[in-house]
Structure 1
Amino acid sequence: MTTVSAPPQSQRSALQGFLTSRPVMKLRRNKLAMLGLLITLLFVLVAFFAPFIARPSAGSNCLRDLGVSSPNQIYNPAGGAFWQVLFSAPESCYAIERESFSPTPTPPSSEAIFGTSQGYDIFYGLVWGTRTMFKLGLIIVGITLLTGVIIGAISGYYGGWIDNLIQRFLDVLFALPGLVLTIILITFLKASNPGIDPSVPIILAFVATGWASYAKIVRGDVIRTRQLEYVDAARSLGARDNRLILKHIVPNSLASVLTIAVLDLGTVPLGIAALSFLGLGFPAGYAEWGQLVDFARAWLQPQYWYVMVYPAAFIILFSLGFNLFGDALRDAYDPKTR
């Protein structure tokens, strides 16, 4: 006799409970939040499928490093190049395709549908630059968030001289201009480590200047959460400090900081673009939005409208999507609005 296993009701009910929860329902009713989410998802798709949207040209170093000779070979899922270019594309693929060495921009054409700037294909740079922005944004926000949560949880839970020491250090960081400190750190790291991967100083500088705000917010939420009755109950049952922090306090103190992390995913890439515009980012020709804006600086004339309009549109839409969704997410999980 065969028996039919029951469906996982607990998992289904948990999913239904999440989709019908007050914050999610509030988000779903917010048209601007859904617009922001749609824009964000479009950029995610552009970043993920960048090799197929702006594929490398024949004879490029990207194809050579992928071990293929024809651009069409990267479309074959049975080949290794398909998966490699999706998940671990060589650095040569991030080099913007160069149509010529003429500094004069050329208008959109079949070869470069957004035109060229300093000889570089604007479309290729914007599409692969989206992948660069997401990659660095996720790494920076992830490390910054983890660092801030750990230090903020320790500060808020233990209090006393530990909390006082951490808070005084945070006061020093907040007293320094964030952008100026980031520029100083990047300049120092590059000067003391010639030939270093340009993404490493950027990541270290943004993490060093960004974790303090997360730690401040987490500390306040941990101080509030540790005084709740279920934490006292767990402590009376013999739960150790690490179990209290990791299982009971931190998971219930992350709502505010996670919504800010979503907003930072939209602002950190803009800071990276600003650094490249100032000449402190990636080397010339690397697929990154700030470089394309820098290339357009000398050609702000009506007949060369495309050199600035397309990069500016990408930057504005990217920021708009994350800000619309992030603001709505923060409002949805704000207990004061319930």
Structure 2
Amino acid sequence: MTITAPAPTRERSRWNLFWTGPAMRKLRRNRLAVTGLIITLLFGLVALFAPLIAKPGGNCLRDLNIASPNEVYNPLGGAFWRAVVAPPASCYAIERLSFSSTPTPPGQEAVFGTSNGYNIFYGLIWGTRTTFKMSFIIVAITLLIGVIIGAVSGYYGGWVDNLIQRFIDVLFALPPLILTVVLLTILRAKSPGGDPTGPIILAFCVAGWASYARVVRGDVLRTRQLEYVDAARSLGARDWRLILKHVVPNSLASVLTLAVLDLGTIPLSVAALSFLGLGFESGYAEWGQLVEFARPWLKPDYWYVLVFPALFIVIFSLAFNLFGDGLRDALDPKSR
């Protein structure tokens, strides 16, 4: 009698385990979440290839050291890579076709028309880059700060937890946008005409980390009581090793979902700052600037000055919210 050895089982890679896991299966079945992800990726492509969609001109051409805007279409030339990867600051200045304050309707020269003389199409395309840059930088910094402070607060407890939570209560006493406006006003008072990027990021980070810290603290309070944490502690693992290797990685599902949702809400807040006159300087490629330009022209005859910027802001925020809601449902074990 011949006994055949069982066929060796092929070990599945981590990517395969992740892709075929219950969370990803549920996320792939959620059509709204997939739609939101696709729209987000399309916005990402628009931001990446902004120089090819809205050709640079004026000072941007000079700083790119090219004579014709068509040279950016040549991937063998240095101008293509510099324009796509690291365009100079002058490229973010919205192309101004005239100095007339009266808007002009969409046409061949300006696909979406002009507002205050600025090309709306150019401002929206390059403003997509500004939106992605501000959203991801702000969320990344606030998420990092919130995870660290929330993990320390939840793991150690006692007076450390009490002190951190009372400070968070003070921050929550003010609405986030009001606190951001106050901080930004103070920061920009020292250099009124300077680049507002740094002060805007700092103001949002100071006002935004507390929500992440509170969510992480709640998850850490639950995770630190689990058996594998006690086992690692009994083997002599130090506190920071326990926090970084065992507690935090298993406490990030909720806060990552919150971060994805915030990626869609931060552009609204940045646009509100520009609308209030606290954002970027006039003519900078940022969606809130275009909404601010439309304020004196809210009439049916000039519908395009508000409709196109509003559509970009709403669709961008809606895409991240659809994907974030789907991600939250997929990562929630109770909903599987």
Residues 25-34 or 144-153, more deviating: 25-34
Deviation string, structure 1 residues 211-235 (Cα, Å, up to 9, x no partner): 0000000011111111111111111
> Does 1:140 find its partner at 2:138?
yes
**Alpha-carbon offset, residue 145 of structure 1:** 0.2
Q: Secondary structure at the match of 1:193?
A: coil
2:279 aligns with 281
**Alpha-carbon offset, residue 70 of structure 1:** 1.2
Unaligned runs of 5+ in 2: 1-9
Unaligned runs of 5+ in 1: 1-8
Note the 1:1-338 alignment, pairs <5 A. 13-57=13-57, 60-338=58-336
**Alpha-carbon offset, residue 172 of structure 1:** 0.6
**Alpha-carbon offset, residue 76 of structure 1:** 1.8
How high is the TM-score relative to the length of structure 1?
0.95
One-letter code of the match for 1:300? Answer: L
Q: Decide whether the 8 Å contact of 2:113 with 2:305 is kept in 1.
A: yes
Distance 1:120 1:214 in 2: 39
Distance 1:193 1:314 in 2: 31
Q: Decide whether the 8 Å contact of 2:291 with 2:309 is kept in 1.
A: yes
Deviation string, structure 1 residues 168-204 (Cα, Å, up to 9, x no partner): 1001111112111111111110102344321111100
**Alpha-carbon offset, residue 25 of structure 1:** 0.8
4+ residue runs over 6 A deviation: none
Distance 1:29 1:117 in 2: 42
Distance 1:97 1:195 in 2: 21
1:5 aligns with none
One-letter code of the match for 1:314? Answer: F
Distance 1:195 1:102 in 2: 24
Q: Decide whether the 8 Å contact of 2:34 with 2:323 is kept in 1.
A: yes
Distance 1:194 1:126 in 2: 25
One-letter code of the match for 1:34? Answer: V
Q: Secondary structure at the match of 1:32?
A: helix
Q: Decide whether the 8 Å contact of 2:46 with 2:125 is kept in 1.
A: yes
Distance 2:229 2:78 in 1: 51
- What's the C-alpha RMSD, in Å, of the aligned pairs? 1.1
Q: Decide whether the 8 Å contact of 2:224 with 2:247 is kept in 1.
A: yes
Distance 2:81 2:224 in 1: 46
One-letter code of the match for 2:49? Answer: F
Identical pairs, percent = 72
Distance 2:242 2:150 in 1: 15
**Alpha-carbon offset, residue 78 of structure 1:** 2.1
Residues 211-220 or 30-39, more deviating: 30-39
Deviation string, structure 1 residues 265-314 (Cα, Å, up to 9, x no partner): 00011100011011110000000111111111111122211111111111
Distance 1:164 1:300 in 2: 50
Equivalences, count: 327
Distance 2:297 2:194 in 1: 32
Distance 2:224 2:194 in 1: 43
Distance 1:332 1:113 in 2: 40
One-letter code of the match for 2:30? Answer: N
Q: Secondary structure at the match of 2:294?
A: helix
Distance 2:126 2:298 in 1: 24
Q: Decide whether the 8 Å contact of 2:97 with 2:119 is kept in 1.
A: yes
Deviation string, structure 1 residues 146-174 (Cα, Å, up to 9, x no partner): 00000001111111111111011001111
Deviation string, structure 1 residues 15-68 (Cα, Å, up to 9, x no partner): 2211111111111111111111111111111111111110113xx101111111
Distance 2:318 2:24 in 1: 20
Residues 44-53 or 185-194, more deviating: 185-194
